[in-house]
Amino acid sequence: MTAGPRPTIAIGEYRIDPGDERVTGPSGPVKLGNKAFRVLCALAEREGRLLTKDALFETVWDGMAVSESALTTTIRELRRALGDDPRHPRYIESVYGRGYRLVADVRHEAAAREDMAVVRDGAPAPPPVPARTQTRADAEVKGLEAGRPPRIAVGDFSDEAVAKRHPYIGASMREEVLLGLSRFREIQAVDAKHMDPGPARRRDYRLDVNFLPAPQGSKANVRLQRAQDGGIVWAEMMLIEDEGVGAGVEAIVRQIVAAVLPALDQDISIGIGGTTGTLFDRYLAAKRLSVEAQDRATAEDAARKLEAIVAEKPDFALAYPPLVRLYNIDYGYNALGASGPVERKRALELAKAGLAADRSHVHAYTVLGFCHLYHAEFDQALSCFEHALKRNPFNPDRLNEVATGLTYLGDFERARALFEQSDGIQPFADDNSQEDLGRLALLEGDMDGARKYFARVTMASLWSQLCSAVTAWDKDAKRGRKAVARWKTRVHEGWHRPIPPSDEEIVAWFRFHHPFRDDAGKPYVELVTAALTDA
């Protein structure tokens, strides 16, 4: 009995026979090592979408601990075999700091058996009809649908004007910025030298830096602009003093990298409606809805939209964190008391799935860390926070999340260092850092320091209002009772059911959202409990 035709995968001029582990090209069979063959197959399966380095290590190397040079050597072997130029790739494109993707057309074909090839009227049989054909344009659309993030082309860092004073400062800072940006899963950092020609795509941006002399050193003029219309999204002038140039450069790198993401997020959000075409647009709309929701119905609508995205595209890792947040914290605190064991269980399942979808996504680690905290799995939580800190020390939001997690674990000293590090690279002044530092001072027993921090908060969140009321109560019980009563009124108005909660329910709800390890937050919890039951 003769076996049926084997399916093959066509990549440009080459064909992969997965069953027979062979690759053939215009000149016949292509010699590839086992790892190179498996990498090629993995890239083909992604059909133009990004394949991360972590994913390759887990699949091709079966999770073995190997150096990154093993992967780069394998990619080099693969490119050599395909005749591909990394500077102008026709097959494999490097995504700086993240991984690789195929840029050639991918077609799945039903391969004709060699023993079935026949000649009719002296002419060879026509090639098999592809079961599915994907053009370059189709691949571009598919990439968008799969959730391609905004792309930032990092241009030259012009340092001619300060070259005598600070030689190579532009090149060294440029590499550091590229490295820092590559750690954000929400964006795609690209070396402008290797950008493909043609018109700029939607959500394409360019980052440039120009160094000029300054009285006490140099200044770096930084500019982030839209590629399509040249609109300036963010610009800043940063000083580098002659003394301590190394530290100054490092500080500027952190500030640039930290400022890019919020600037892009704000620019992209403008004009994004509730019903848009691509998966990434739908995600942006749902994410914005989840953050900006002012009532339970809107927050639940955001949750439904995000649930639909992860059901449709389980490997779209960006959609998981905002969804987990809604389930963990009472739909963004729009339905106080709504989160319970069922919601927290679902959040944990989603957080694990989100991390499995992309193990390079730093937010996935902090989100899972908090889920572990809420389930009293403290060692697992610490492991997640350590991974997040190691993978991206440039993101102030992630630094704050890790620091907050450490406060629940009782490591106040390290938490303070991270809060201060985050505050130093914040591109914009915000209330969150004041709230975080104020709560930490409260935990450390520094009431005067806590009061100073909370006095700087302009728009009090639910918890900063409570902390401020508690510090007022500790200083002056009569005045503090009024502040605590105002906070209770806010809780009653936002409660998830018409019947307001009792003081005991409020205390239990407070504890539910403050998962301290052992006695880490005992003085703080006792103070809050006393204030709530006294008012």
What are the residues whose beta carbons fall under 8 Å from the beta carbon of 384, sequence distance 6 or more? 365, 366, 368, 369, 372, 405
The answer, as to whether pTM is greater than 0.85, is no
* pLDDT tens-digit series, residues 480-493: 999 999 999 999 99
Nearest-5° angle of CA 133, CA 134, CA 135?
Answer: 120
Higher pLDDT, 24 or 405: 405
The mean per-residue pLDDT over the stretch 417-437 comes to 82
Q: Are strands 22-25 and 28-29 parallel, antiparallel or unpaired?
A: antiparallel
Provide the pLDDT confidence category of residue 135 given band limits of 50, 70 and 90.
Answer: very low
Does the pLDDT of residue 476 top 70, yes or no?
yes
Does the pLDDT of residue 26 top 80, yes or no?
yes
Place of tokens 């691949």: 139
Provide the pLDDT confidence category of residue 358 given band limits of 50, 70 and 90.
Answer: confident
Provide the pLDDT confidence category of residue 273 given band limits of 50, 70 and 90.
Answer: low
Tokens representing 530 are 């006393």
Provide the pLDDT confidence category of residue 6 given band limits of 50, 70 and 90.
Answer: low
Q: Residue 152 in contact with residue 207, Cβ under 8 Å?
A: yes
* pLDDT tens-digit series, residues 187-219: 888 888 766 666 667 788 999 999 898 887 888
What are the residues whose beta carbons fall under 8 Å from the beta carbon of 25, sequence distance 6 or more? 13, 14, 15, 82
**Side chain identity at residue 91, one-letter code:** Y
Residue 283 CA to residue 288 CA, distance in Å, equals: 8
Beta carbons within 10 angstroms of residue 125's beta carbon: 11
Strand, coil or helix: what is 49? coil
* pLDDT tens-digit series, residues 30-71: 888 888 888 888 888 887 778 888 788 878 877 666 667 778
Q: Residue 367 in contact with residue 320, Cβ under 8 Å?
A: yes
Q: Please state which CATH class domain 147-269 belongs to.
A: alpha beta
* pLDDT tens-digit series, residues 213-257: 888 788 889 999 988 888 898 898 888 776 666 667 778 888 888
CATH 1.10.10.10 spans which residues of the chain? 7-118+132-144
Provide the pLDDT confidence category of residue 120 given band limits of 50, 70 and 90.
Answer: very low
Architecture of domain 7-118+132-144: Orthogonal Bundle (1.10)
Average pLDDT, the chain: 83
CATH 3.40.50.11830 spans which residues of the chain? 147-269
